[in-house]
Chains A and B, each alone.
Chain A
Amino acid sequence: MTANTTEKTAVQTKPGSQIIVDTLLEHGVEVLFGYLGGVVLPLFDKLYDSPIRVVIPRHEQGGCHMADAYARSTGKVGVVIATSGPGATNLTTGLATAMMDSVPLVALTGQVRTELIGNDAFQEADTTGITRPITKHNVIVKNPNELAQTIREAFFIASTGRPGPVLIDIPVDMQIAQVPVTPPQPIELPGYRIRERGHARQITAAAEAINSSQRPVLYVGGGVISGNASEPLRKLAKKANIPVTMTLMGLGAFDQNDPLSLNMLGMHGAAYANFAVQNCDLLICVGARFDDRVTGKLKAFAPHARVIHIDLDPSSISKNVPADIPVVGSARHVLTELLELVEYRERKEWFDQIAEWKKRHPLRYDQNAKTIKPQYVIEELWKQTQGQAIITTGVGQHQMWTAQFYRFNRPRQFITSGGLGTMGFGLPAAIGAQIANPDALVIDIDGDSSFNMTLTELSTAVMYELPVKVCLINNGYMGMVRQWQELFYGKRYSCSSLKSPDFARLAEAFGAVGLRAEKKEEVPAVIKAMLAEKRPCVADFRVDPEENVWPMVPAGKSLHEMDGLDIFEMA
């Protein structure tokens, strides 16, 4: 008994682990993804009695991608827990993925007892040291009284400004210590300021530039989706009559079925998107960062354009491409204010030119081929799902074909690892998205090599009875790598083919449903069967092994120097 309990004004105390759970509940956490270990047992013990649903992945990387996709598909903060040492190091790929794509995540890791830190104790790793460059912020808690406030700050930092993962390392003695219960304190982070509102004069300058431009293009990225700015973006594009091209991360920010959509730009972007950027007189970049996969050769990027750059993160502005009109602020605020100031312009010549490009170089593939073309599978999937499914992917050719042939119509519909390009993201992401959206149709369009990396999570899907679908674009190769070897290494396919298991039978072994299509005629029926399935399902499409993604801007070339355009040339 502590002295406190005998005093009249006794402060209520609880174990740190209970404080952690209470603080998670205070932030509306309903689901979290976690894996056990010695130094998080006190925490899991309290989760046992809590209303929070705990999903156990088969590997911490999987858990982190699940929390990530949960966040991407809902806009809420994802939460993941891992034990110290190997548990924490297994999180790193997931954290780096979330960091590169600005996903709000709170990761809680256990740590060895405070007095053992630095002694190479069993399962000790310098978690904050390891994760410093791949988190937005991280801290180790060494005073149990600071637990609650540290968690509150973590949620705040993860979800505001440019979102990102925040990690809290919690030694096990902090979880056991009795901690006085205190009401939430105001969050005081003197070094953390967010400028939501853009500078009024810059916004006016941007509006004037828009109103006087003949050939404008909106170039939008993931910031529009994470900033919930799709609606003002749509209104602005309509009102000012501006075509919209999207980065991989921006897909879904603007309806790709809209006549103003130019689809994706960049290395594997649509030719008309790249031509439009190279010929525009005004490039309005919103929530994107001029990634090298988008710009091609920087010096020759959008050579005739003035550049308006709207971004919440000042360090993104003028990092790669100098902005003529920089606007630091949230996409939502700035676009809403811009909307008031812009006027309709017809820009007939510009739209005629774009129509001509679209007609000459549509995204196409050989529809008369005898083999199963990967693009055909994705297009058929798009048709049968009426373009409404939530789609996740691995990384490689299948990811690019998905970007090209599944026409996304709403934000948070496409969940893919853009910045880090993490193979193995697809299946765990589908599981996270399905948990967040139990009634939605969630499909992982995956490559055979990507799927091999995390397919163990199939057993997670089976255990939690999640009806996720895996649509395997199985070409027997690390396809994207093979494409580069074909084009740039004289077809020397060094180490890029793997012998895979029979995926359909493997799925059955996991307790899921396995399907396979080897002939083109089988594709529609297999997709139909997959969609009808209520259990987790893997459909293995044996596609043309040497199909390439076209068009392609080779590394180091400028955006309009695309290879493979002749394939798209209309007769």
Chain B
Amino acid sequence: MKHILSALVQNKPGVLAHVAGMFAARAFNIDSLAVGRTDDPSLSRMTIVVIGDDRVVEQVRKQLAKIVTVVKVQDFAGMDVVARDLMLISVACPPEKRPEILALVEMFQGKVVDIGSKFVMVEVAGPENKIEAFIEACRPYGIKNLVRTGTVAMARQPRFAPPENEEAK
């Protein structure tokens, strides 16, 4: 089972090593790890995709929270989550295939970011399955290069606040 965890960490040297080291030492399986600064320069956000059953992920969550520089950990299991990967992909594209490939890019709401006589570089963002589908669609043309960020994710806000009287027990 894939689980998405989101960890708010202090933006300090050694934090990534602490987190990665914990995963390695405890033999947890990381599928992807994406890190970047938040709007607060003293904090970074890590989105960690882990593979494991509920008990394993529970341990991962607790062990992460135990790291002194990890401020907060959230498990997105059972939540409505927006999850995105970003991919840059370079696809073989002789002039005669251009219309075909551009149509494909359009279909996936991708963006052509570079173009040459033989290749086109495309940026695609979206949920993992969309990214994967795009890779498959490109395969017949020939993929020269591919790079992905790993998943970043955020939980959706509850659309409507529950009525007051229901909230009060």
Residues of A that sit less than 8 Å from B by CB: 128-129, 132-133, 136-140, 142, 157, 189-192, 313-315, 318-319
Contact = CB atoms under 8 A, between A and B. Distances in A.
B168 interface: no
A291 to B, nearest CB: 16
A314 B65 contact: yes
Nearest to A139: B14
Interface in B58-94: 58-59, 62-63, 65-72
12 contacts: A129-B17, A132-B14, A132-B17, A132-B18, A157-B68, A189-B68, A190-B10, A191-B9, A191-B68, A191-B72, A314-B62, A314-B66
Nearest to A319: B59
Given A128-B14, A318-B58, A192 B68 contact: yes
A125 B69 CA distance: 23
A190 B12 CA distance: 13
A95 to B, nearest CB: 14
B62 to A, nearest CB: 4
A289 to B, nearest CB: 13
Contacts of A318: 55, 58
B25 A133 contact: yes
Nearest to B68: A137
B44 to A, nearest CB: 12
B62 A315 contact: yes
A199 to B, nearest CB: 16
A192 B66 CA distance: 8
B36 interface: no
A191 B14 CA distance: 14
B142 interface: no
**Counting chain A CB atoms within 10 Å of each CB, which of B22, B62, B72 scores highest?**
B62
A142 B65 CA distance: 26
A315 B68 contact: no
Contacts of A133: 21-22, 25
Contact of B21 (A132, A313, A319): A132
Contacts of A140: 13-14
Chain A, interface SS category: mixed
A128 B12 CA distance: 14
A361 to B, nearest CB: 35
A420 to B, nearest CB: 14
Nearest to A322: B55
A292 to B, nearest CB: 15
Contacts of A315: 59, 62-63, 65-66
B18 A191 contact: no
Please name the 10 residue pairs, one residue from A and one from B, whose CB atoms are nearest each other, closest first. Answer: A315-B62, A191-B71, A137-B68, A190-B71, A133-B25, A191-B70, A192-B68, A132-B21, A314-B62, A315-B63
B116 to A, nearest CB: 38
A437 B58 CA distance: 42
Contacts of A189: 68
A157 to B, nearest CB: 6
Contact of A136 (B14, B58, B68, B71): B68
B32 to A, nearest CB: 22
Contacts of A142: 13
A192 B65 CA distance: 9
A191 B13 CA distance: 15
A500 B70 CA distance: 49
Nearest to A314: B62
Contacts of B9: 191
B67 A191 contact: yes
A445 to B, nearest CB: 33
Contacts of B67: 191
B62 A191 contact: no
Contact of B10 (A136, A191, A319): A191
A180 B62 CA distance: 39
A313 B66 contact: yes
Nearest to B70: A191
Nearest to B72: A191
**Counting chain B CB atoms within 10 Å of each CB, which of A132, A140, A313, A318 scores highest?**
A132
Contacts of A132: 14, 17-18, 21
B57 to A, nearest CB: 12
Contacts of B71: 190-191
Contacts of B65: 314-315
A515 to B, nearest CB: 45
Interface in B28-72: 55, 58-59, 62-63, 65-72
Contacts of A190: 10, 71
A189 B63 CA distance: 17
Contacts of A314: 62, 65-66
Nearest to B43: A190
A338 B9 CA distance: 36
Nearest to B73: A191
Nearest to B20: A132
B151 to A, nearest CB: 23
Nearest to A133: B25
A315 B62 CA distance: 5
A218 B120 CA distance: 69
A374 B16 CA distance: 50
B75 to A, nearest CB: 13
A140 B18 CA distance: 13
Given A138-B14, A315-B63, A318-B55, 5 more contacts: A129-B17, A132-B14, A132-B17, A191-B68, A191-B71
Contacts of A192: 68
A318 B54 CA distance: 12
Contacts of A128: 14
A190 B69 CA distance: 8
A313 B62 CA distance: 9
**Counting chain A CB atoms within 10 Å of each CB, which of B9, B22, B66 scores highest?**
B66
B18 to A, nearest CB: 6
A191 B69 contact: yes
B93 to A, nearest CB: 43
A137 B66 CA distance: 10
Contacts of A136: 68
Contacts of B59: 315, 319
A134 to B, nearest CB: 10
Nearest to B18: A132
Nearest to B26: A133
Contacts of B70: 191
B40 to A, nearest CB: 11
Contacts of B66: 313-315
Nearest to A316: B62
Contacts of B68: 136-137, 157, 189, 191-192
B51 to A, nearest CB: 19
A174 B59 CA distance: 38
